[in-house]
């Protein structure tokens, strides 16, 4: 059996911290809480579970805080937990079985677990669950491999478990995240491909007038780049159309939507055009674009943009057009989709 250090960084998590720790109780030998400036009862709650509570002066970088928490660990493996996560009893048992199956000399260096319950949270992700690395071997042993032309193994040994961690936040972090991205761009930092994708999703899902205007020049750079990936181009165009629609800039809607449609388009772009005509009460034209969102294009940022959202709007459009039978057909499709998510 291995020993586990649970490492957490927290700030103002009094509403969810006990729920998380109760669901992990019995799985750790060591609990490390790094507080980055709580003003509520977070540290008081944490003290009921551990005396290893550390203050960390916020640097504006989550990785700095994570690295500090890991530096305090002393067990064989480190489990990186967030306060808004929950393990139910079934997955607690799976975790305990995994813990018993591993030993300190195991070659497994990273255990991935499913991160679930995303679609019900209006998150920026298109999945209900996906693998994420959660359990890390604290000390890595470098080993040589191959009988000849030997070389040190550089890639970590990763095990994909069937453990599901449920994400149950008590609020959204989009406003916070967007402010970080704006700060990074304002300082001239270059976004990695991963960070660029997250920024685009945040803008599409949660960007308001200010966020969209602030990101405008960045989006223009993406669509003007000759080497830009086609999916990135489509995402940027859809967001620029969202901005133009919100700011009532009809000429820009035409300009950017034509660029997108000329290069295949995506569900998110079709949804923006549907919203544009919907707001003008042009139900027939709106229905065409909602149909294209649901059936003729693929989603790149939001699964809902290709499923429940256009179907719901199609119901309304055909009710407004005095075509109740067609509206009923789309209502039935919407119901079937919602039921399929529950199964």
In this prediction, residue 65 carries a pLDDT of: 96
What is d(CA 255, CA 257) in angstroms, rounded to the nearest whole number? 6
In this prediction, residue 127 carries a pLDDT of: 55
Q: What are phi and psi of 231, to 5 degrees?
A: -65, -40
Query: For the chain, give me the number of helices (H) and strands (E)?
Result: 14, 10
| CA R_g for the chain | 24
What is d(CA 54, CA 42) in angstroms, rounded to the nearest whole number? 12
What is d(CA 139, CA 109) in angstroms, rounded to the nearest whole number? 9
Nearest CA-CA partner of 203 in 171, 161, 162, 232 = 232
In this prediction, residue 87 carries a pLDDT of: 95
What is d(CA 141, CA 124) in angstroms, rounded to the nearest whole number? 36
Question: Where are the chain's structural domains?
Answer: 4-167, 173-265
78-123 residue pLDDT tens: 999 999 999 999 999 999 999 999 999 999 999 999 988 655 555 5
The token pair at 98 is 């995994």
Read off the DSSP letter of residue 140: P
What is d(CA 241, CA 246) in angstroms, rounded to the nearest whole number? 9
Grouping H, G, I as helix, E, B as strand and the rest as coil, residue 13 is coil
Nearest CA-CA partner of 177 in 144, 202, 159, 160 = 202
In this prediction, residue 218 carries a pLDDT of: 95
Q: Is residue 322 pLDDT above 80, yes or no?
A: yes
Q: Which residue has the tokens 């229905």?
A: 287
Higher pLDDT, 244 or 229: 244
10-45 residue pLDDT tens: 999 999 999 999 999 999 999 999 999 999 999 999
Grouping H, G, I as helix, E, B as strand and the rest as coil, residue 112 is strand
Give residue 241's pLDDT band: very low, low, confident or very high (50, 70, 90).
Answer: very high
Mean pLDDT of the chain: 92
What is d(CA 307, CA 9) in angstroms, rounded to the nearest whole number? 36
What is d(CA 17, CA 97) in angstroms, rounded to the nearest whole number? 24
What is d(CA 269, CA 260) in angstroms, rounded to the nearest whole number? 7
pTM recorded for the entire structure: 0.73
Q: Where are the alpha helices (DSSP H) in the chain?
A: 17-24, 42-46, 62-71, 89-101, 174-186, 193-206, 209-214, 216-224, 230-246, 250-262, 267-279, 283-291, 308-320, 324-342
158-214 residue pLDDT tens: 999 999 999 887 766 778 889 989 999 999 999 999 899 999 999 999 999 999 999
Which range is least confidently modeled, 88-102, 120-134, 154-168, 250-264?
120-134
What is d(CA 313, CA 315) in angstroms, rounded to the nearest whole number? 5
In this prediction, residue 288 carries a pLDDT of: 97
Give residue 264's pLDDT band: very low, low, confident or very high (50, 70, 90).
Answer: confident
What is the fold, at CATH topology level, of the domain defined by 4-167? Spore Coat Polysaccharide Biosynthesis Protein SpsA; Chain A (3.90.550)
């Amino acid at each position: 059996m291995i020993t586990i250090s649970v490492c957490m960084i927290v700030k103002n998590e009094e509403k969810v911290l006990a729920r998380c720790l109760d669901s992990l109780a019995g799985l750790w030998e060591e609990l490390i809480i790094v507080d980055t400036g709580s003003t509520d009862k977070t540290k008081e709650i944490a003290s009921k579970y551990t005396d290893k509570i550390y203050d960390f002066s916020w640097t504006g970088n989550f990785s700095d805080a994570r690295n500090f928490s890991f530096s305090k660990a002393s067990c064989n493996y480190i489990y990186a937990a967030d306060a808004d996560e929950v393990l139910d009893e079934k997955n607690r048992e799976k975790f305990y079985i995994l813990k018993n199956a591993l030993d300190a000399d195991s070659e497994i260096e990273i255990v991935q677990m499913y991160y679930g319950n995303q679609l019900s949270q209006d998150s920026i992700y298109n999945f209900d669950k996906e693998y994420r690395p959660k359990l890390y071997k604290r000390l890595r042993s470098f080993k040589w491999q191959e009988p000849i032309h030997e070389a040190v193994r550089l890639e970590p040994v990763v095990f994909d478990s069937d453990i599901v961690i449920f994400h149950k936040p008590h609020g959204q972090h989009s406003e916070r995240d967007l402010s970080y991205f704006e700060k990074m761009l304002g300082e001239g930092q270059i976004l990695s491909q991963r960070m660029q994708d997250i920024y685009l999703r945040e803008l599409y899902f949660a960007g308001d007038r200010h966020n969209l205007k602030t990101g405008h020049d960045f989006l223009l750079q993406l669509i003007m780049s000759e080497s830009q990936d086609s999916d990135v181009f489509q995402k940027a165009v859809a967001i620029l159309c969202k901005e133009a629609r919100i700011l009532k800039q009809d000429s820009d809607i035409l300009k950017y939507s034509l660029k997108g449609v000329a290069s295949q388009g995506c569900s998110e772009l079709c949804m923006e055009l549907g919203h544009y005509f919907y707001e003008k009460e042009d139900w027939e034209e709106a229905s065409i674009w909602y149909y294209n969102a649901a059936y003729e294009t693929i989603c790149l940022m939001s699964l809902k943009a290709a499923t429940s959202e256009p179907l719901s709007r199609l119901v309304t459009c055909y009710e407004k057009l005095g075509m109740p039978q067609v509206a009923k057909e789309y209502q039935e499709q919407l119901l079937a989709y919602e039921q399929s998510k529950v199964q």
